[in-house]
Structures are given as C-alpha cells and as structure tokens.
Structure 1
Amino acid sequence: MSFGQAALLAAPTSVAHANGAGPGFVQFADVEKSYDGRTFAVTRMNLTVARGEFLTLLGPSGSGKTTTLNMLAGFERPTHGTITLEGQPVDRLPPYQRNIGMVFQNYALFPHMTVEENVGFPLSVRQVSKADIAARVGRALDMVRLRQFGDRRPSQLSGGQQQRVALARALVFQPSLVLMDEPLGALDKKLREHMQLEIKQIHTMLGVTIVYVTHDQSEALTMSDRVAVFNQGGIAQLGSPDDLYNTPQSSFVASFIGENNTLEGVVDHVSGEQCRVRLNGGGEITALAVGVTQGSSCHVAIRPERLSLSPAPAGGNALSATVDGRIYLGDHLRLLARLANDQVLTVKVGPEATMANGEAVTVSCAPNDCRAFPADAGKAAPFQNRGK
C-alpha cells in the first residue's frame, strides 16, 4: 500500500482543505488564563482556526503559546472565556472527551509495548474490535512507513522513528484535531528538517486540522498555513508566513521572524506612507511608516537580503559604512557593515564578494524595504481575530 493510499484510507470524512477558508472549527472567545489570580499567562484572546488548517503558535519561552495549547487540549482550564470545537464548548470537558490527538516532544510512548501496541492503544481504550484495531494500526504504520517495525519496542527505534510512531498513534483514531507540542525539539537539525516535510505531507494528504507549538521560527515558516506570533501573553501578529516575514506589524515580529537589522532613531517627519528617520548618532533613512508619529522614537527594520552594496536606486537610501567582519556561509557571505554612528548592519552578498575588513563601502536600500516601528511596539496588544 502506498503512502497516498494509506492516507486516503485513514482520512476523516468531512474535512475541507484549509487555506484559511471555511467556518471556524476551533474558536477562542475572550479567553484568559491566570495561575495566581494576579498575572495572566494569556490575555483576552479571540482566535479562530479553520477546519483543515495547519496553524502554528510561535513565540519565545513564557509567551503564552503552550498555555494556549494546553487549554485547547484540556490540560488547563481558562480563567475566563470560552473555547469551542466544531461549535461545541469544550473548556469544561476533560481531555479524553475532546477527540483530540496529541504529539509531544518526548514521544510519550509506552516502553513495555511494541510499536503496534502503542499505536493501537487509543483504539483499545475506545473498545474497538481487535480486527479493526489490526487493520487501522496497519494503515497508520503504512502512513508513516514503519509497518516492518511493528513488533519492536520504542527503545529499539531511532528518535525519528519514535516520533513517527507517536504521530501514527495520534492519527489512528481519526481525531477531529491534532495538537503538537514542540514535537521535533529533541531531534538533530537534519532529522528535524526531514520530519517537518513528513508532517506537512501527512497534513496535506489527510486534511486534518493541526495546531502546532514551536519556538523555532524557521520550522513555523516551513510548515504552516498561518502562524500566530505570541509575545507576553498575547498574539502580536497572525498571518501567513509570507505576511509575517515581508510585512511585520511590530519591531518584535520583525526581529523574531527571520534575520533582521534594527536601526534606532527619531521620526523627523511623516509624508503619506513613508517617514524620514534621523538615526541615533547621525545619518538619515527613509522608511515605510508603521504606526509612527513625528518626533517619536522608532526602530527601523531591514532584512539583510534587502541591502545592497550597489549604488542606491532613485530616491533610495545610501549609508556610508566600513566592513567590520565577514561570515562565510557557502552560498553567500554575511558582511558586517559598521555605520558612522557605530550601528552595525548585516548585508547578504554573493560568495564571490571581495570586500576586506576595514574597507569603505556604501550600503543602499529602497525605502519600501525598510519599516519604521514605534520603539515600544514589542509588547503584544490584545489580539482580536474572529476569522481569516
């Protein structure tokens, strides 16, 4: 049986593939969580997840993403607000009544059981017949390409194989929703990247709804339909990977998603969508104005690949700098360019670049490739999202 055949046999019956369309499958309505009654791990969250969507909750430690996942799983109860799944409130239901599959970082496999017994466990506790268990376990193991390891114990498998078993166990009973909490955190880089593609392929084949927690921004960008970037108990921004990378709405999101240069300064004036910024210590730059006002302190965000050492385009920015370092990364170089005000920019250039340390260069960029944010915009505001 092929991977695709196994996936189709195991697929839930009424799943629409999600690119953001469709009614709310999971909804958080005014949800808050406090552990001590004084401070909030999650604040005033309104969030909708579409059926069949792959949504990633991304953020640093302590940002509220895992608390949000635990409330959805039933391991924590919200202090305030309502969580619904397929239109039914679940915030007071125990985990075993929510029809949710879970995949954890530590796999959580039973060491005394074989692979087949581990995968079949959710079916046995649901009192499925032995014949059905055998058939469904076989299909699930085919789906993750581990049929030949069915009689082994978890200790006889590699980390990647154990994670595949955990994934098969989470999918074997055809849950309405699968939650994944840092599932690849214990794997090495190469295996982690391979498993990212496998999980995404399974999601595409089955159309199952997945809510995924990670602090790894590259993992989130690779796998997700949408990403919710968490910060200080709220969602700083929610959008597609492309939206978050190319049109961040705050300095925090710009710095957390992908590599970013940040220049500090004061807004000299605002004209339409652009503003002119006086950089701290000297120099000026024109950027897109994102919530800044004249006279306010700001952070200007610029991606390294948007900077160039060629002459500035018409109306573009040109900054005098000195090469302060070279980082060789195979297919490209990262040049560290120190400006006259002592701020340092990282510039992505081709591997053939010959600029030496101490050499004078001009760093240029288009104003539309620079985004000026209020200097205090790193804190997440209460996020409202009732739909896509």
Structure 2
Amino acid sequence: MAATPKPGANAGGQGFVEFVDVEKSYDGRAFAVTRLNLSVARGEFLTLLGPSGSGKTTTLNMLAGFERPTQGSITLEGQSVDRLPPYERNIGMVFQNYALFPHMSVEENVGFPLSVRKISKADIASRVARALDMVRLKQFGDRKPAQLSGGQQQRVALARALVFEPSLVLMDEPLGALDKKLREHMQLEIKQIHTMLGVTIVYVTHDQSEALTMSDRVAVFNNGAIAQLGSPDDLYNTPQSSFVASFIGENNTLEGVVDRISGTECRVKLNGGGEITALAIDVAQGAACHVAIRPERLKIGPAAADETALPATVDGRIYLGDHLRLLARLANEQVLTVKVGPEATMANGETVTVSCAPGDCRAFPADAGTGGFVSKQGKTT
C-alpha cells in the first residue's frame, strides 16, 4: 500500500475528481442536487457535510455509481465515469452498517475484493495481513464479524475498502453507529491512515465536529447545493452565510436591522433595543439581518474603545469542566451564550457587561444562507 501524493492539482489543473454542472432529480421536478461543480484534489480528505436531505449522500452515491446524474458529468482521473458500473470504478466504500459478510471470517471479508479480482491466493494472504496489521486486527483474522465489537467491525470494513489499493475511498456516515468515545477514537484512526497512505477520501457526515476534526476541506451542503467550501478554519472563523455560521460550531444569533454601513463594517440596531457593530457580509442598509457571534469571542467586562458593550443579566451557568457557559440575557430579552473560565464567579441574577469586537461579529442578510457557492470560474474548487 504505497503512499500517493498529498493534495494538489493534476497536470493541466484538473482535479482528481470533477463534478461538472451535475444535477439529480428523482421525479423530474424537485432536485436533490442542483448546479454542482466540485473539484477534489488527489490525496485530499474532503467531507460532504450537511443536514438530512441536503444532497450530500446523493452526491456520494453518484460518485460511487449507485445513482446516475440527471444532468452534468463526473470524471475520475480525467476519465468520465458516468456510464461505468460501481465495480469498474476502482473505488473503495465504507458504510455505516459495515456491510460485512456474517458467514465469512475477518480475513475472508477483507480478502473478498481481491478474490473477485482474481488475485492469487498467496498475494491475497500477504495483502490481507498487511491490511489487518494497519488497522491493528491481525490477531482477529479467524473470527466472524459477530464476535467483534462495533469499532472492530468498522476497522474490518476500512481494511476491506483499502486492501485492493483503490484510487478513491468513499465513506458514508461510517461512524454513525458508534458511541461518542469510540467515534472520536475512530476519527483519529481514519485520519492517521489517510495521512499514512495518502489515499483520496470523500466522506459524508451530518456531524460538524467530525468534519472539522478530520478534513482538509469541507463542502457544506444545504438544499441540494454547496453553501460554502473551504478548510475547517475558514468555515468556522469566516462563514459566508447565516446558515453556515449556525451549522458549523456553536453560535449566537442576534436579530436586527442594518442602520448604517461604513467600509467593511456596519452598525446594527437590535430588535427590542441595543446596537452592535459587526462585519458586513452582503447586507444592505435598512435591511433585516442576523448577527453571528461565537461564544468564545464574547467576554464579560468593560468594552474597549472599538468594542460593543451590551448590558446583560446572568440567566444561567452551565459547568463543563474546563470552562463555563454563561447565559446572559440582554435588555431586549435575547440570550447570549458566553464561554468563560471555570473560575468565573458570576452568579445567577447578577448584572454584567458583555462586550465584543466588530471583527468577531458577522452580519448576514436575514433571508440568506441557503444558496450555493460557485467561484468566478464557475467551479467550486
């Protein structure tokens, strides 16, 4: 299992995987995926993230060959796969339900993709041994799937997907059936294997923390389109819509109207009273907007000269070990969640000042956040 190159463009600038003007409709009227242009680099770990019904699994199924696009085309290494059946695409698959054969041993399950490719028995044995060693299950080769834990079964499924050295591995909610602790452990294991092998992975999940932990880039889907595509840091710290800001990570949302715009910033009059200065993201003066602020970007205490000060009352304290979540109720009855240190002594009912810098607040149009993101070249890259 030799390592492949790390993320980067192929010769000529074409992506390893390309979706070009892809759309998918099951009834000819409503579209599960619309106007999808997406480029995946060789060796990249790309996650398709979004709520149920957003189009991410349909996109994965079209790449796998389980569904055909209604319009547009999909290429792999520069070659169209639109008419290729799944078994001719040289793609490994890992599913949430593992899809292991219960009557076969672990070794037989892992070796199955090699046997159908008519690989010699000696070569199968050595490659299966390497694959099981990679996922730390070499000693379990003679067991049946039912004799393994959920995490071990998922490792077997991962080894089976990698044993024939595919050019691409697709993972559809592979950790959804595991408990929280095991899921977090498997996230790190999959990422380590990806780093070791350099294989290209397209991963589907609705769990935003999972996407942020594992991915080189994340495509956030909403209503069948990509709302934003970027690195985990980009999505978390510079969301381009109210939907992305609220879907990625914990977020406070204040409702108001844009009073005035000055350069890259705007002053927002909050509904029910109060004002706040924020970065202006496609907002218009006089229009309704949502102001998004991360809990860790708020502080309790006097505001600096360029910051906004919001009088509030402590409405609750949530102890989370390494920090506290304070619920701060503003005069207009909107409640902010503020992340503070565990040593904070503010009591329920205490009057405090919540302050924030303009650069930590982002104002979005109130009716935006559901559209797709397409670059000037017409491709999401």
TM-score of Structure 1 vs Structure 2, range by shorter chain: over 0.9
Of residues 101, 104, 107, the one that matches 1:116 is 107
Is 1:353 paired with 2:381?
no
TM-score of the superposed pair, with normalisation by structure 2: 0.97
> What does 1:123-272 correspond to in 2, within 5 Å?
123-272=114-263
Write the distance in 1 (CA, Å) between the matches of 2:296 and 2:9: 29
Aligned counterparts of 1:45 and 1:347: Cα–Cα separation in 2: 37
Q: TM-score, normalised by structure 1?
A: 0.95
The separation in 1 between residues aligned to 2:46 and 2:326, in whole angstroms, is: 35
Aligned residues: 377
Aligned partner of residue 81 in structure 1, secondary structure: strand
Closer, same or farther: CA 193–291 of 1 in aligned 2, 3 Å: same
Give the Cα–Cα distance (whole angstroms) in 1 for the partners of residues 306 and 339 of structure 2. 22
Whether the 8 Å CA contact 2:373–2:380 is kept in 1: the answer is no
Q: Note if contact 2:22-2:33 (Cα within 8 Å) is conserved in structure 1.
A: yes
2:5 counterpart residue number = 16
Deviation string 1:114-165 (CA, Å, 9 cap, x unpaired) is 0000000000000000011001000000110101000000000000000000
Could you say if the C-alpha distance between residues 126 and 71 of structure 1 is closer, same or farther in structure 2, counting changes exceeding 3 Å? same
Percent of pairs with identical residues: 84
From 347, 365, 371, the equivalent of 1:374 is 365
1:77 aligns with 2:54: no
Inter-partner Cα distance in structure 2 for 1:317 and 1:49: 41
The answer as to 2:96 corresponding to 1:96 is: no
- Change beyond 3 A, Cα 1:38–1:387: closer
Amino acid at match of 1:85: L
Does the 8 Å contact 1:234/1:383 carry over to 2?
no
- SS across alignment from 2:299: coil
Change (3 A) 1:223 1:19: farther
Which of 330, 333, 341 is equivalent to 1:339?
330
RMSD in angstroms over aligned alpha carbons?
1.2
Distance in 2 of aligned mates of 1:119 and 1:185 = 21
Aligned to 2:29: 38
User: Which amino acid in 1 is paired with 2:6?
Assistant: H
Determine the structure 2 residue equivalent to 1:53.
44
The structure 1 segments of at least 4 consecutive aligned residues displaced by more than 6 Å after TM superposition are 19-22
Q: Is the 8 A contact 2:301 2:352 kept in 1?
A: no
Q: What is the deviation of 1:382?
A: 5.6
Residue by residue over 1:72-114, the C-alpha shift from the partner in whole angstroms, topping out at 9 and shown as x without a partner, is 0000000000000000000221100000000000000000000
Q: Distance in 1 between the 2:129 and 2:9 partners? A: 32
1:283-313: CA deviations, max 9, x gaps? 0000000000101100000000000012112
Does the CA-based 8 Å contact 1:234-1:381 persist in structure 2? yes
Whether contact under 8 Å (1:23, 1:51) holds in the other structure is no
**CA separation in 2, counterparts of 1:278 and 1:332?**
31
